[in-house]
Structure 1
Amino acid sequence: MKQLSSAQIRQMFLDFFKSKGHMVEPSASLVPVNDPSLLWINSGVATMKKYFDGSVVPENPRIANAQKSIRTNDIENVGKTARHHTMFEMLGNFSIGDYFKTEAIHWAWEFLTSPEWIDFDPEKLYVTVYPEDAEAKRIWLEEVGLPKGHVVEVADNFWDLGVGPSGPDSEIFYDRGESFNDLAEDDPENYPGGENERYLEIWNLVFSEFNHKPDNTYEPLPHQNIDTGMGLERMVSIIQDAPTNFETDLFLPIIEKTEQLSGKKYGSDKTLDISFKVIADHIRSLAFAIGDGALPSNEGRGYVLRRLLRRAVMHGKKLGINEAFLYQLVPIVGKIMVSFYPEVQQQSEFIQKVVRTEEERFHETINEGLTMLNDVLAELKADNKSTLDGKVIFKLYDTFGFPVELTEEVAEDEGLKVDHEGFEVEMQAQKERARAARTTETSMGVQTALLGEIKVKSEFVGYDQLEVESKLSIIIQNDAVIEQTSPGTAQLIFAKTPFYAEMGGQVADHGVITDTSGEIVATVIDVQKAPNGQPLHKVEVAKPLTTGENYFLQVDAARRNKILKNHTATHLLHKALKEVLGDHANQAGSLVAPKHLRFDFTHFGQVTPDELKNMEKIVNQRIWEAIPVVTIETDIDTAKNMGAMALFGEKYGHDVRVVNIGDWSIELCGGTHVINTEDIGLFKIVSESGIGAGVRRIEALTGQEAYEAFRQEEERLLEIAQIVKSPQIKEVVSKTEQLQQQLRELQKENDQLATKLANQQAGDIFKDIKEINGTTIITAQVTVKDMNQLRQIADQWKQKAASDVLVLGTAQGEKVNLLAAMSPAALDKGLKAGDLIKAIAPKVGGGGGGRPDMAQAGGKNPAGLNDALSEALNWLS
């Protein structure tokens, strides 16, 4: 067997399938684009859904990729088993209606056994097949030449998501030898395909040939597809002869750095080894996910990252690391993966900043969690209880990030049991909430043959033409291709069109279609890309249109002109963002519409008013400089060498369009733009907000809309000038400052009067003292404005030592405030203000709490205030 690094194995796989005519797709972002059914990209095939369901026809039906993926459904097993990971790499080759079982099986065998490639010993390889898949079994036995004993029928070998594409699969196993036997010879799981350590699954070949229908029947797919998945980590562990995936070059450098930071040695203690593995696994997921735009938070993807980070920190504590350390592992991850995933190394500084900030916050939280746990345990022991409730375990896990095993250890050290069942109930409820928060869509749709089969050419000429004469090639109505339209909506494809199809955040053009006499026959209300890339016009039919006839296509020029301004302004804003906030501020979505633009971007933290002002100023300066906007068509490599930025979520082919604004902003973009920045006229940011974990949104206006926004602001200022009686707008600020000063002086005077009134009341109420069981108490309803003034009276009571117990209440409208206080003598008797306030607050429809010496409450039932004061006397008696 060859000795290969993980980088060599990955590249060898891609090179092999490239030699078989496959197009190699780059690894997609871990954050899914336009797929609400997935929290993360969780497999190599997840990025191929658009090809398998027919919504996009690939340039090449043969595709290969190495795809980073995240799965966290069995996170608790990470570190405890040999091969569980949260982030892993899936190597795959795919056929979209091209080759099928014969090629897939033969190529898999060639790659694994050929001396030119992996060079496995054929005697070490076993395969499983679906019992009813006679064809796959025949290919393995008769064509490949595997001995019968190396082909095993397994009933589970059928890939099925419930509804959609499905089919039998064939798994390939590597026999690691008798030294890896973890089962008895006669154990029913001791075979290729069973749950054992000896026979390691390395590759799954899925033969997708059926459509699983909602009525639970199966029908043949229009096209048979191939979808395979090979786990890189498993392959590397075999080739590098590692006992588990963690002893490979993908993880060992991280473990070695952790050894340096902790002073502990990997391999010396099985319990500590789990912590080393968890840390190495989790920092990979964190580094890649943050690099792809996800950030820690309390929901969705951010919740997953926060949980991973906190688990890793807690395992760091088990290794004796009691300060932020994970961020120091980020450069190690970047160095390991740089040959195929340069993004972690490129964004290392930003990723480290995010991880370190989150670590330091969590270290503050850990102490709160431990305090809470110790308090709960103390209460349990005081009440002679022996079991820690599952709800408490879940709260520690969910709020403070405490791993369940850590809570168990602390509880067991105190001689207590833990309520596992109650914890699982809470955990399941959390999973249900998370599942409900995501859009429930099928993971893979079935192919739609109609649009996918339409191969006619259609040229977009709308970069420099807004009106053209063109032949109508295709009419679709009621899911059928027809020769002539009937009333209603229809979908049309023309030989050429000036109408822009919605793409890259830019909305579609609108306009009209006229016949040769100039009469309007249809109104274009939307344009989308068909699976084979043609602009597909959705129209409202006014008069019949016929295929083969020529029509005039006219784009709404005024609407397009506004879209141009907003699109070019988006490019200027993107560059300004990076200059002001830093290179980590990447586009995370956009909308370019006629009346406004919207720009979403990744940023860790708030955007200040000064930063927004600076961005707006930079964009307007570029507009006023009247910079030519130059668009060129070139190949992708040349574009990258020019420094062109790629937009979020976009896939680019070999030939691309580059929009260059004075060599300052250079982006890959297929959209439409102004000829010169001065055409934009004016740019105004109208709002900035957070829309998710680490994602913020700017909304802005250009041209006429920006002017109208300034006019509205001016009108509002004029109204304010009239209100504050300022003759001119420029004097509004000084006039408002004068009014504010007057208000402050009046407020101060009012507070002095209120304090004087409170003092007068205090003098009266301190005389009305009652004694109950040897304890003196003052209760009174007073006329003050808020809780602050109640506390002032309580301070006077404390200075005068007027009684042992004080209870005050005040009502303002529908709002009630209560205050209870205890003297040192009352505290010595075991009386607590918090207990007293909890007893009387229900009378005013409220609740509260506080310290033993002082507590307060609020309520919404003023009518119950006298009852609350009376209840204080009852409580004391």
Structure 2
Amino acid sequence: MKELTSSQIRQMYLDFFKSKGHEVMPSASLIPHDDPTLLWINSGVATMKKFFDGSVVPKNPRITSSQKSIRTNDIENVGHTARHHTLFEMLGNFSVGDYFKEEAITWAWELLTSPKWFGMDPERLYVTVYPKDTEAKRIWHEEAGLALDHIVEVEDNFWDIGQGPSGPDSEIFYDRGQEFNNLADDDPENYPGGENERYLEIWNIVFSEFNHKPDDTYEPLPHKNIDTGMGLERVVSVFQHAKTNFETDLFLPLIKATEKKSGQHHYGDSTETDVSFKVIADHIRAVTFAIGDGALPSNEGRGYVIRRLIRRAVMHGRQLGIDHAFLYQLVPVVGKIMESYYPEVLEQADYIAKVVRMEEDRFNETLQDGLQLLNENIKKAKQDDAKQLTGKSVFKLYDTYGFPLELTKEIATDQGLEIDQTGFDLEMKQQKERARSARSNAKSMGVQKSLLVDIKTPSKYVGYEKLTVTAVLKNIVASEKQVDQVASGKAELIFDQTPFYAEMGGQVADRGVIKDDQGKVVAQVIDVQHAPNGQNLHTVEVLAPLTTATTYELAVDQDFHNKVRKNHTATHLLDQALRDVLGSHTHQAGSLVEPDYLRFDFTNLGSVTADDLKKVEKIVNDKIWQALPVKTVITDIEAAKKMGAIALFTEKYGKVVRVVKVGDYSTEFCGGNHVDNTSELGLFKITSESGVGAGVRRIEAVTSKEAFEYLDQHNQLLQQTAQQLKLTQLKELPHRIAQMTDEIRDLKQKAAALEGKLAQQQTADIFHQPVTVNQHTLVAAQVEVAGMQQLRALADQWKVQNSSDVLVLAAKPAENKVNLIAAVSPAGIKAGIKAGDLIKTIAPLVGGGGGGRPDLAQAGGKNPAGIQAALAAAKQWLAER
């Protein structure tokens, strides 16, 4: 067998299936696009859902890919096993209703065994099949030529996730030889498919041919599919004769770099330190790719996963003697390893490293707090003669401070304690249940809907050139069936050509009308989306009968369309201006282009300052006033990239792409509508900037007429304010407002001083008139002060004067507002009197509630009529003590 690098294996796999007519699909972003069921892309097939469920028909039903994926359900196992990873690559070939078992099996055999390709020894290959799948067994034996004693029937070889597509599968195993065997020859698990180290599963081929129905019966799918998965890390370990995945060129450079950072530990020295090397290598790969795809550390969702991985890696670094930030220095190493297929990692290495460094520094600041909490928990456990740390306390260390479970175990063991593993597992289970319930429970993959999938009528979009055309109505879908005529209600229509833009890339769909040959409006177009086969599907409100094979006039609402065009071009200008001002790390995280405004989401580590927003706004307006031409170029994707065109990680692009150039300033991949010249925008104004998630900011803005109206409205408000202040010029406003602010501050200070004097005058009367209740002295009175702050000041004076054992004061600062305060002297507290208990008793009488410490408590209420009753109740409460 050949000695191949990971890059060679990946490329050879893709080249092989390309030679079999497959389209090579680039690896999608780890952040799922329009799929609320997934936190991360977790497999190759996850990016193919839209093809398998029929919502989109692929241009080529044969697809192959190497898809980066993240799985986080067993992070704790990483480093302790040979093949658990958080980030991994899944090589796959897919057939959407095209070829099936015979091609999938014979091609797999050819790729694995042909000297031209992988060149594996056929004698080392074994496969498992579902016992009832006699056809797959026959093909493996008769067509591929695999010996029968290398084919194992396994009952579990049926891929089924509940309702939806399902079917039998074949797993392919590589016999690594007796030297890898960790079991006795007579062990029942010592076979391909068993729990052993000798027979390594390298590929799984799923024959998706049934629909699992709600009643747990199975029916044949209208289109049979092939879904396969070959873990790159696993197959690389075979080619590179590695004991585990970590001794391959995908991980060893990271392990060697970590050895240098450690300076005192080396890989292979001990099982314990090897775990740390593996964890660090695994986690920095996942973190690097996740941040590169737009995720950022935070306390929830994807951000929480990144934060947890970084903190776990930092703790393992400490076990290797690395007590300073170091992970960020491994980011370029990841980039270099993956450069051949993922050049964007090195391109973004500085930005990714900056994010990792910030998170490392933040964790190191909190690390001491976590260690202090752990030491406190250990001390308390020993004081209570406990033999273990509680599951709840261990989980808090794990969840809040990022302490790996094994580290807490180690420290506890050194102190002669165990941990409550059962309690920890319960806390972990509850957290996972919370996380699952927080995400959508939408189905992970539906069954093909053949109605729209089977409509393959050609339809051309002509809206780039004209907004009114005559077109032939080809298809009508109403009441979930295809019909030749519809008289009223809602319907979906496909024409042979259309000027209506279908919603895509953040740009909303066009609106407009459909007219008959007499010029009568027969339908209102209320939405346009892409049908599975790519046609523009018009959702309409039918006003008069519509019939297929009839010619109609399709007219886009031009005012609506032109406003959208302006805002779309402004979005491109804004995107580039943000890069210019904030840095090249900033990239689009979503957008919405409406006729009345635009919304643009972008990544940035912190908030955007007012000065930076002003710079961005000025740049966009300068480009508008420079009257830059807006041109569209149709070219191939490689030529577009050479032009410097910016692509979005959430979008897929074909071989032929549309590039929109705004002068020499902005060049982007885009299929939307734009103005011919930036001067058409007239004016650009940012109306708001805010945060919408971890590391994601949002700008909303307006252009043209809406921008003028926005500024005019604000100008009117300023004019009204100037008139109220009796100013003749707007430029006088800032000075006058500053002057008024100073005056208000002075008046507040004088009022506070007067209130203080008034309060002191009142204390002269009330503090010297305590009453004795049950051998305790009480001062209880209503006072005329402005609010709680003054009541607290009176309580401080009472404390200094030592006027009584208990104080209760009430104030009515407003018509429907009451403030109460209660205070107890040290002698009163010693006698068992608590201010918090007292305030809770009397507060309901003024329609409120409150609480506090034994020496001081306060409450608020809405019923001033109850003040005297509350004061009387205080006296009664004290009498009962």
Q: So what's the TM-score if we normalise by structure 1?
A: 0.92
- In structure 2, relative to structure 1, the CA distance for the partners of 1:544 and 1:809 (3 Å cut) is same
Q: Give yes or no for contact 2:325–2:357 (8 Å, CA) kept in 1.
A: yes
Query: Within 2, Cα distance between the matches of 1:424 and 1:245?
Result: 28
Q: Give yes or no for contact 1:623–1:680 (8 Å, CA) kept in 2.
A: yes
The residue matched to 1:66 in structure 2 has which SS? strand
CA deviations over 1:427-446 (Å, ceiling 9, x no partner)? 22211211111111111111
- In structure 2, relative to structure 1, the CA distance for the partners of 1:723 and 1:367 (3 Å cut) is farther
Aligned twin of 1:104:
104
The count of corresponding residues between Structure 1 and Structure 2 is: 863
Query: Within 2, Cα distance between the matches of 1:506 and 1:675?
Result: 17
Q: CA deviation at 1:586?
A: 0.9
The residue matched to 2:105 in structure 1 has which SS? helix
Aligned twin of 1:120:
120
Query: Within 2, Cα distance between the matches of 1:567 and 1:485?
Result: 35
Q: CA deviation at 1:795?
A: 7.6
CA deviations over 1:671-723 (Å, ceiling 9, x no partner)? 11111111111111111111122222111111111111112212222332344
Q: CA deviation at 1:486?
A: 2.6
Aligned twin of 1:175:
175
Query: Within 2, Cα distance between the matches of 1:350 and 1:44?
Result: 27
Query: Within 2, Cα distance between the matches of 1:869 and 1:121?
Result: 95
The residue matched to 1:860 in structure 2 has which SS? strand
CA deviations over 1:116-139 (Å, ceiling 9, x no partner)? 111111111110000000011011
- In structure 2, relative to structure 1, the CA distance for the partners of 1:872 and 1:196 (3 Å cut) is farther
- In structure 2, relative to structure 1, the CA distance for the partners of 1:815 and 1:129 (3 Å cut) is farther
Q: Give yes or no for contact 2:787–2:819 (8 Å, CA) kept in 1.
A: no
Q: CA deviation at 1:810?
A: 6.5
The residue matched to 2:485 in structure 1 has which SS? coil
Aligned twin of 2:547:
546
Q: Does 1:131 align with 2:135?
A: no
Q: Does 1:689 align with 2:693?
A: no
Amino-acid identity (%): 61
Aligned twin of 1:248:
248
Aligned twin of 1:713:
714
Aligned twin of 1:58:
58
Query: Within 2, Cα distance between the matches of 1:475 and 1:155?
Result: 46
Query: Within 2, Cα distance between the matches of 1:124 and 1:693?
Result: 49
Where does 1:172-571 land on structure 2 (aligned, <5 Å)? Answer: 172-263=172-263, 264-571=265-572
Q: CA deviation at 1:25?
A: 0.6
Query: Within 2, Cα distance between the matches of 1:796 and 1:631?
Result: 78
The residue matched to 1:426 in structure 2 has which SS? helix
Query: Within 2, Cα distance between the matches of 1:703 and 1:649?
Result: 29
- In structure 2, relative to structure 1, the CA distance for the partners of 1:270 and 1:33 (3 Å cut) is same
Which residue identity lines up with residue 90 of structure 2 in the other structure? M
Aligned twin of 1:29:
29
My pick for the range that moved more, 757-766 or 731-740, is: 757-766
Which residue identity lines up with residue 429 of structure 1 in the other structure? Q
Q: CA deviation at 1:68?
A: 0.3
- In structure 2, relative to structure 1, the CA distance for the partners of 1:754 and 1:801 (3 Å cut) is closer
Query: Within 1, Cα distance between the matches of 2:299 and 2:545?
Result: 55
Q: Give yes or no for contact 1:766–1:802 (8 Å, CA) kept in 2.
A: no
- In structure 2, relative to structure 1, the CA distance for the partners of 1:783 and 1:360 (3 Å cut) is farther
Give the unaligned 5+ runs of structure 1: none
Aligned twin of 2:596:
595
Query: Within 2, Cα distance between the matches of 1:401 and 1:259?
Result: 23
The residue matched to 2:203 in structure 1 has which SS? strand
The residue matched to 1:658 in structure 2 has which SS? strand
Q: Does 1:846 align with 2:850?
A: yes
Q: CA deviation at 1:728?
A: 3.8
The residue matched to 2:547 in structure 1 has which SS? coil
Query: Within 1, Cα distance between the matches of 2:672 and 2:179?
Result: 60
The residue matched to 2:702 in structure 1 has which SS? strand
Which residue identity lines up with residue 455 of structure 1 in the other structure? K
The residue matched to 1:846 in structure 2 has which SS? strand
- In structure 2, relative to structure 1, the CA distance for the partners of 1:690 and 1:873 (3 Å cut) is farther
Query: Within 2, Cα distance between the matches of 1:621 and 1:695?
Result: 26
The residue matched to 1:243 in structure 2 has which SS? coil
Aligned twin of 1:2:
2
Which residue identity lines up with residue 585 of structure 1 in the other structure? T
Q: Give yes or no for contact 1:647–1:669 (8 Å, CA) kept in 2.
A: no
Query: Within 1, Cα distance between the matches of 2:271 and 2:530?
Result: 56
Q: CA deviation at 1:500?
A: 0.8
The residue matched to 1:94 in structure 2 has which SS? strand
Query: Within 2, Cα distance between the matches of 1:408 and 1:339?
Result: 41
Q: CA deviation at 1:184?
A: 2.3
Query: Within 2, Cα distance between the matches of 1:366 and 1:20?
Result: 54
Q: CA deviation at 1:657?
A: 1.1
Q: Give yes or no for contact 2:44–2:91 (8 Å, CA) kept in 1.
A: yes
Which residue identity lines up with residue 553 of structure 1 in the other structure? L
Query: Within 2, Cα distance between the matches of 1:659 and 1:869?
Result: 80
The residue matched to 1:138 in structure 2 has which SS? helix
The residue matched to 1:282 in structure 2 has which SS? helix
Q: Give yes or no for contact 1:279–1:316 (8 Å, CA) kept in 2.
A: yes
Which residue identity lines up with residue 850 of structure 2 in the other structure? G
My pick for the range that moved more, 653-662 or 397-406, is: 397-406
- In structure 2, relative to structure 1, the CA distance for the partners of 1:169 and 1:684 (3 Å cut) is same
Q: Give yes or no for contact 1:511–1:556 (8 Å, CA) kept in 2.
A: yes
Q: CA deviation at 1:425?
A: 2.3
Aligned twin of 1:629:
630
My pick for the range that moved more, 838-847 or 394-403, is: 838-847
Q: CA deviation at 1:859?
A: 3.2
Query: Within 1, Cα distance between the matches of 2:802 and 2:375?
Result: 38
The residue matched to 1:739 in structure 2 has which SS? helix
Which residue identity lines up with residue 357 of structure 1 in the other structure? M
Q: CA deviation at 1:752?
A: 2.7
Q: Give yes or no for contact 2:130–2:156 (8 Å, CA) kept in 1.
A: yes
Aligned twin of 1:153:
153
Query: Within 2, Cα distance between the matches of 1:390 and 1:571?
Result: 52
Query: Within 1, Cα distance between the matches of 2:149 and 2:677?
Result: 72
Q: Give yes or no for contact 2:807–2:824 (8 Å, CA) kept in 1.
A: yes
Q: Give yes or no for contact 2:30–2:40 (8 Å, CA) kept in 1.
A: yes
Aligned twin of 2:864:
none
Q: CA deviation at 1:788?
A: 6.1
Q: Give yes or no for contact 1:808–1:820 (8 Å, CA) kept in 2.
A: no
CA deviations over 1:330-352 (Å, ceiling 9, x no partner)? 11111111111112211111111
- In structure 2, relative to structure 1, the CA distance for the partners of 1:820 and 1:77 (3 Å cut) is farther
The residue matched to 1:720 in structure 2 has which SS? helix
Give the unaligned 5+ runs of structure 2: 844-848, 862-866
Q: Aligned-residue CA RMSD in angstroms?
A: 3.0
Query: Within 1, Cα distance between the matches of 2:413 and 2:758?
Result: 58
CA deviations over 1:128-187 (Å, ceiling 9, x no partner)? 000000011011112222222211011111111211111100000111111222222222
CA deviations over 1:427-467 (Å, ceiling 9, x no partner)? 22211211111111111111111212222211111112011
My pick for the range that moved more, 141-150 or 810-819, is: 810-819
Query: Within 1, Cα distance between the matches of 2:479 and 2:553?
Result: 24
Query: Within 2, Cα distance between the matches of 1:105 and 1:192?
Result: 18
- In structure 2, relative to structure 1, the CA distance for the partners of 1:864 and 1:369 (3 Å cut) is farther
Query: Within 2, Cα distance between the matches of 1:756 and 1:660?
Result: 72
Q: CA deviation at 1:371?
A: 2.3
Query: Within 2, Cα distance between the matches of 1:61 and 1:121?
Result: 31
Aligned twin of 2:860:
860
Q: Give yes or no for contact 2:29–2:649 (8 Å, CA) kept in 1.
A: no
Q: Give yes or no for contact 2:629–2:662 (8 Å, CA) kept in 1.
A: yes
Where does 1:80-91 land on structure 2 (aligned, <5 Å)? Answer: 80-91=80-91
Q: CA deviation at 1:376?
A: 3.4
Aligned twin of 2:660:
659
Query: Within 2, Cα distance between the matches of 1:284 and 1:673?
Result: 40
Aligned twin of 1:166:
166
- In structure 2, relative to structure 1, the CA distance for the partners of 1:88 and 1:871 (3 Å cut) is farther
Query: Within 2, Cα distance between the matches of 1:164 and 1:170?
Result: 19
My pick for the range that moved more, 247-256 or 125-134, is: 247-256
Aligned twin of 1:730:
731
Query: Within 1, Cα distance between the matches of 2:332 and 2:769?
Result: 72
